[in-house]
Structure 1
Amino acid sequence: MINYLDFEKPLAEIEGKAEELRALARANEEMDVEKEAVALDKKAADLLVSLYRDLTPWRKCQVARHPQRPHCRDYIAALFNEYTPLAGDRNFADDHAVMGGLARLGDRPVVVIGHEKGHDTKSRIERNFGMARPEGYRKAVRLMDLADRFGLPVVALIDTTGAYPGKGAEERGQSEAIARSTEKCLQLKVPMISIVIGEGGSGGAVAFAAGNRVAMLEHSVYSVISPEGCASILWKDATKMREAAEALRLTAQDLHKLGVIDHIIEEPQGGAQRDKEATMASVGAAIEAMLDDLSKKSPQELLKDRRQKFLDIGAKGLAA
C-alpha cells in the first residue's frame, strides 16, 4: 500500500478509483471495467509525470522523508553480500542509528557505513529515527580506521535529519565526535564514496559525507539545517518552511551546480518509494562506477583529490 504525500492527493484519488473498479470486477465476474480502469491508469501515470516534473524544494523534502523510501539496511541487503556487522565504539555503547561493517560489493571487499531510520514504530524508536549519538560517530571512525588499515574502500549511505541533540549526547561530546568523524573521512588513504539516499541533515550528514565522491539521489536533500529549523531561527515561524527550503538551496540539482556534490542518481518516476529495486540497482551501479574510477589513484592522489574537492566547493556557483 502506497503512502501518499500531501501534494499527491489528486493522484491517490485516481489510483484509488482504478483499484475500486478492479475490486468490484473481482467480486462480480460479469462486470467488465478493465477499459475504464486502464483509462484511469493512464490518467494517473500522466499526473505522476506532471507532479514530479518540476518539484519545489519543499516537495523534494517531503519525498526525501517518505517513510517507504529504501533505507540503509535495504541497500545493504540488496547490494552487498557477506555483510558482517560490527558494533560498538569500544568506549561507551553501540548506537543503533548507525550501522556498518565489512561486506563485498560484487567481488570487491568494502567497509559500508550508514544511518538507519527504521521502518516501523518499534524499529524507528530503536534506531532513534536515524539521529546518531556520539558513540555512533565513534563507531564510524573505528570502522574507517579498519578500512584504512586493510586498504578497503569505504561506502557511506547518508539518511539523517541530523545528529541527536539530546543532553546525554552533548555530555558525551557530540560536536567533537562529529568533528573526528569528518576529520577521519578527510584523512583516509582509501577511496571513499558518500551517497545521500534521503535526508542529509547538518553535521550529522557531513560526518559521513567528506568523501572523494559525493552523490545524491535525485529527490534527496542535503543542508546545514532543516527547513523547519531554518524558518524557526530566521522568521520565528516554522510554518515558513517552504520559503526556507527555497533559500537553502538543498536540492541535488542546486548542490551539483555549486560543486558540493559530484553526481545525481536518477530515481524512478514518482520517487524511490515507487520502485525500490530499480533505485537500489541505480545506486549500486553508481557506487561501482565511482570506485572503478578511484581505484586507479594512489593513496596520496586520493588524499589530494579529496582535499581539492572540498577547497573547490562553491567555486562553480560563484563563477556562474
Structure 2
Amino acid sequence: MKFKVKNKVNFIGDFWQEAKKINWKQVNKDSLQSFRIVFIGNHDSYTRFINDLEQSRYDFLGLKIAREIKITSSAKAKLIFVDISKVGHYKAQIVRSDIIIVDSVYLQDIREQIGIVPVYNYEKAGMENIVEDILNDNDKLGPALAFNFPVFRTSIGRQKIIEIAKQNAIWAAGTSVANIIPGPQQLITAPLEGFSDFTVLTTNELRMVFITAGICGRKIEPLKLIPELMIMLGGAKGAQILATQTLGKVPAGAGNILKAAIAFAFTFAIGEAVFLNMNYGVKIDSKKIGQRVELLKDFSKEKVTKFIKK
C-alpha cells in the first residue's frame, strides 16, 4: 500500500505513523547501555588509545574514507585509565569492568598481577587489530560501543546493513512477483527536495535509518530525522530505476538467487549511503547509489547464495 503524499504536512503524518511501528526507543536503549572500559598502560599509550577511539575508517569496494570524530564527555566517562604502577590498587575495579585493554608492553605483567581474565592487547599499530575481537566477544554492547566510540562504527554499521539487506533479499526471493526491489511490510513515500517527486521507502529501510543513526552517535528522535531522510534517500527512486536498468529485468520465474541479489544490493547501497552521510557527511546521489548497486553484484550474490536456495 502506498500513501499518496501531496505536501510536507501529509508526509510528516505518514512518516510518524510508520515510525511508531518501529521500536526506535529500543535503538536508544541499545545505544545508551551502561558499560566500563579499563585501559592499563602509561599516559602516552592512553593518549594514543583515545586518539584511536576517535578514528573512523571506511574501506569497501573502492570507497575509502577516514575521519577523526571527537568523542563526547559522556563517552570519556565510560573509560577508566589505570597507570601500570597502580594496578594493584585497582585490581577489583579492573576485574569488574566489561572490557580490559592493556598496552602490549605490559601484557605479561598484567596477567601475572590480576590473574587469567580476558584482556585485549593494545599495540602501537592501533585499535584495528582488536576491534573485531572486542565486538565478537561483546555482541550485545556493539551498538553502545559504536554510539560512543567512532572506531567501532564501520564494523557495526556494515553488520546491521547486511542483516537488513538479508531480510529484504529473503522477502524478494519468496515473492512470486518479478522485478522486485525490496519492500517488506507497508510502503511509505518520501518527497524529494522541493516535493516535486517521490521515492518509495520501506518500513524495513526506515528501521535501518534509525539503527544507523544510533550507530553514528545520535539519539533517535524520529521527526528530527525527516530533513536528513529526504536529503540522504531522496535519490532512492532514481537508484531503483537505475539498478533495474543496470542489472536487467528479472523475468517471471527467474531464479531466487538473482531476485534476492538485486534486493540485497539495493538495500545495502541505500544503507551504505545513509551511513556515509551520517558518519562522514558524504552526500550520495541516486547515480552514485546505482553505481554502487552495480559494484555490489558479486558481493550480493555471494551473500545470498549462503541463505537462499536456487
TM-score, structure 2 normalization: 0.26
Q: Is the helix fraction higher in 1 or 2?
A: 2
Q: Which has the higher contact order (CA 8 A, sep 6+)?
A: 2
TM-score, structure 1 normalization: 0.25
